[in-house]
A and B are shown apart, each in its own frame.
Chain A
């Protein structure tokens, strides 16, 4: 039997993990394994910082998946927003595998974090920050297509980050007359990327997560997928966030909020909100005690909302009137 050196043993123990020799990164530990890639914590030896390193999970060369990983990194590079995990670097390992590194987010996944928030307004404010990031991506013509609690992280300082853009799709950028030449060149890249995305996803390919995936995504109607598909996922996410609580007795959601969830997650895309901003505005209005576009209130509900919104003023006025009445009553007696 062949004698194995200590170095050979170390290599064999790491035979299932990516070989980072020759790169500036040192592997630390496995963080997560998804459908396509594996994310490891790694140390950037040049900058002395911890990064998250994503590589494909598939052994051997797979040009299609490699293209998708590169595309994901490029999409992330385009989306510079505090609510979207930033990409640092893209490279190739000695075995030819492509990897990219991104910010190492220390915190909790949304489904774990949200359990700590007992107040509904707190949970809704958290949700609005997810909407900010998705709205920004939509403004850059990027659809996430896999929005779910597991793909949102809340950092140790409360920062909200939308992760895993592996299924993202780039739509054709809308023409904008005031855009500069630089933006125009980006548009060209987007168009090229769209062709690649079509090749990668193809018609009839179902991608996403059941429960959070829009009906058109479930049916594999790639051409029908637009911003409203992400709005469907956000609707499901809002319901999840709003209903998550540590309290054993689950409280019924306000009707207006239920209507917002239902409108966002409507089966027909044309019945959903037109944009994430419109959706977020409705959630904000609900938070501020204002009427929402998704729900027509009756008179009693209007009065109840009016009372809720101006509770202190109404109580003060009532107290004043009662006092005044009592004073007058006793004075004329």
Chain B
């Protein structure tokens, strides 16, 4: 397995279909996609929900994905019964409870091949978000937290992909405008402000922003599509995420 999180792998199938494929390479790709999209939300979720120390939460996260592969849990997923996201969260819960009950940290980490994941970045993000485990006591708020982190992970990955695309096409200016207006925009900026700051005309800013936003949305939708268990789920998810049903 490569190093997930660096880029979102590309598959011609949805992650669920790929997991059920007879082709071992497709199955491995499915897990890679899941890793890329879910490792951070699952790490943060387990860390907060079970009040685990960073090292323990890291082991649980690595162990959970290994378990997913070993037991073929993805192939058992039924899109008619739940969303893939909910299924994975419940699987992670079940795995964590068993592991914590057994209190066998050795066993947990013992036979698992660890993947290089940037857990320190996830810890830094938790600190940035100033999240106190005591402040999210109810299961409902933890579910909301997991949903939010999942969207953050999906969008971060789409932004990284957009950055790569802009670099490849020589559209660095479009990315820096997008970054300043949509990603860093702590202070309210108008397109006119951006035009002045970057020495561009308002029409240029408008066009470049429109292109960057359109591409971001396309990438995010493509990644979302790969992460959904069915077309119906994709339609629901894209509506929930962007307020629109895909064409």
Give residues in A with beta carbon < 8 Å to B. Answer: 1-9, 11-13, 15-17, 21-22, 29-30, 59-61, 94-96
Quote the shortest CB–CB distance from B183 to chain A (angstroms).
5
B30 at interface, CB cutoff 8 A: no
Q: Are A12 and B156 in contact (CB under 8 A)?
A: no
Q: Are B242 and A95 in contact (CB under 8 A)?
A: no
Q: Are B182 and A11 in contact (CB under 8 A)?
A: yes
Residues of A contacting B: mostly:
loop
Quote the shortest CB–CB distance from A292 to chain B (angstroms).
46
Select B5's contact among A1, A94, A95, beta carbons within 8 Å: A1
Known pairs A3-B128, A21-B188; A16 contacts B160 (CB<8 A): no
Q: Are A12 and B216 in contact (CB under 8 A)?
A: yes
Give residues in B with beta carbon < 8 Å to A. Answer: 5-6, 121, 124-125, 128, 148, 151-152, 155-157, 159-160, 181-186, 188, 190-192, 202-203, 206-207, 209-211, 213-214, 216-217, 220, 241-244
Quote the shortest CB–CB distance from A68 to chain B (angstroms).
17
For B209, what are the chain A residues with a Cβ–Cβ distance below 8 Å? 95
Alpha-carbon separation in the docked complex, A255 to B63 (Å): 79
Q: Are B191 and A95 in contact (CB under 8 A)?
A: yes
For B5, what are the chain A residues with a Cβ–Cβ distance below 8 Å? 1
For B183, what are the chain A residues with a Cβ–Cβ distance below 8 Å? 2, 4, 8, 11-12
Q: Are A22 and B188 in contact (CB under 8 A)?
A: yes
Q: Are B211 and A60 in contact (CB under 8 A)?
A: yes
For A9, what are the chain B residues with a Cβ–Cβ distance below 8 Å? 148, 151-152, 155
Q: Are A8 and B216 in contact (CB under 8 A)?
A: no
Can you name the residue of chain B whose Cβ is closest to the Cβ of A12? B155
Can you name the residue of chain A whose Cβ is closest to the Cβ of B179? A2
Residue from A12, A15, A94 with most neighbouring chain B CB atoms (10 Å) = A12
For B243, what are the chain A residues with a Cβ–Cβ distance below 8 Å? 13, 16-17, 29-30
Q: Are B182 and A8 in contact (CB under 8 A)?
A: yes
Select B182's contact among A1, A15, A17, beta carbons within 8 Å: A15
For B184, what are the chain A residues with a Cβ–Cβ distance below 8 Å? 8
Can you name the residue of chain A whose Cβ is closest to the Cβ of B182? A11
Q: Are A16 and B190 in contact (CB under 8 A)?
A: no
Quote the shortest CB–CB distance from B179 to chain A (angstroms).
8
Q: Are A4 and B159 in contact (CB under 8 A)?
A: yes
Q: Are B211 and A1 in contact (CB under 8 A)?
A: no
For A22, what are the chain B residues with a Cβ–Cβ distance below 8 Å? 188, 190
Q: Which 10 A-B pairs have the closest CB atoms?
A: A59-B210, A60-B210, A94-B190, A15-B213, A1-B156, A60-B207, A11-B182, A95-B191, A61-B206, A8-B183
Can you name the residue of chain A whose Cβ is closest to the Cβ of B7? A1
Alpha-carbon separation in the docked complex, A179 to B27 (Å): 79
Quote the shortest CB–CB distance from A91 to chain B (angstroms).
13
Can you name the residue of chain A whose Cβ is closest to the Cβ of B191? A95
Known pairs A15-B182, A61-B203; A4 contacts B155 (CB<8 A): yes
Q: Are A16 and B152 in contact (CB under 8 A)?
A: no
Known pairs A8-B183, A96-B191; A1 contacts B157 (CB<8 A): yes
